[in-house]
Amino acid sequence: MTTGLDGIVAAETVMSLVDGQRGVLVIRGLPVEDAARTLDFEGVLALLWDGFADTADLKARLGAARAAAFRHAPRLLPAAAGLPPIDGLRAMIAGLADGAAKKDGDGTPLGLVAAMPVFLAALVRQALGKVPVAPDPKSGHAADLLRMLADRPADPALARALDAYLVTVSDHGLNASTFAARVVASTLAGTVASVTAALCALKGPLHGGAPGPVLDMLDAIGTAQAAPGWIEAELVAGRRLMGFGHRIYRTRDPRADVLKSVVAGLSSPRIALAEAVETAALAALHKHKPDRPLDINVEFYTALVLDAVGLDRSLFTPAFAVGRVAGWAAHILEQEQTGRLLRPDSRYVGPAPSLAA
């Protein structure tokens, strides 16, 4: 019997190939390493949506859609006040299901992709007691997020690093949030409902929630010299090392090396410590769990990239959503095209029924 749907094919997709045995991720035919090196966010969006949505003049249309999304911020922000960023973002995205957004066409896949950075930046600034910053329709998606957060033009190197991150996490097979989006999409509930479901799944700590705790771990270790002893103590105590191990990959997560190369080009004071922790952790895991293939995953160097571009660790999961919504929307479009309701079976293991003689 299979639990957790391991090994079960629930959909056929052209979006991405995840080969956990070989440590390979391919996005619409392009290895993730090449995608991160050659594409910006608008480029990977066009790649994922090719054949499912209009991708002509996508950068200009996405910029205009960000400007349109900003019009909804004043009426949606009150419902998000005081909530953690991921909850506030979900509340605002869900608000696009109302009549005003439908009338403006902002509940479309493009409208939702555009709304993510706009709403996230507005939430952050509201929490700081500052006025939200309007988008720049001519800016790139990643650069505009940084500009809206800080109210100043983004450093080009930081914008490029964030772009590479958004591309790297844009799609990854039928992970929990993408599957949630496809299940809801299969009911024809619409894009807003499907993306809201994905955000609900993303809140759980088992999916998308580890980059922040990676920084907590690095802070607790403190120095490269302390890494071996600290890691040994954690494993002896039966505690998990943040940023290591993956449900799918039986070897190194290919996205980890992409992001490691990205952060190497930035001025991060944590790089030397992170590399020491990586080396010590891999050695300790091999020693303590020789029968389990535990290696580094995407969240380890995600933490360093997002920290280096200036995001607070409370924003790491919402920033992931800014990138992954490209894949969510692509899967929603693909699922709607099939016209098939997702309805898996279950195996009853409860008490035997009392049947009348």
Which residues carry out catalysis?
246, 299
Closest by CA to 330, choosing from 39, 53, 140, is 53
CB 53 within 8 A of CB 286: no
Are 254 and 25 within 8 A, CB to CB? Answer: yes
Distance CA 249, CA 204 (A): 20
Largest CA distance in the chain: 78
Q: Specify the length of the chain in residues.
A: 357
Instruction: Compute how many other C-beta atoms are within 10 angstroms of the C-beta atom of residue 21.
Output: 10
Cα–Cα–Cα angle for 139, 143, 149, rounded to 5 degrees? 110
DSSP string, 120-184: HHHHHHHHTT-PPPPP-TTS-HHHHHHHHHHTSPPPHHHHHHHHHHHHHTS--SS-HHHHHHHHH
Query: How far apart are alpha carbons 86 and 154 in whole angstroms?
Result: 23
- Determine the residue type at 313: R
DSSP annotation of 223? S
3 state SS of 95: helix
In angstroms, rounded to a whole number, what is the distance separating the alpha carbons of residues 177 and 197?
Answer: 7
Task: Give the residue among 298, 264, 265, 66 at the shortest CA–CA distance from 165.
Answer: 298
Find out whether 174 and 11 touch, Cβ atoms under 8 Å: yes
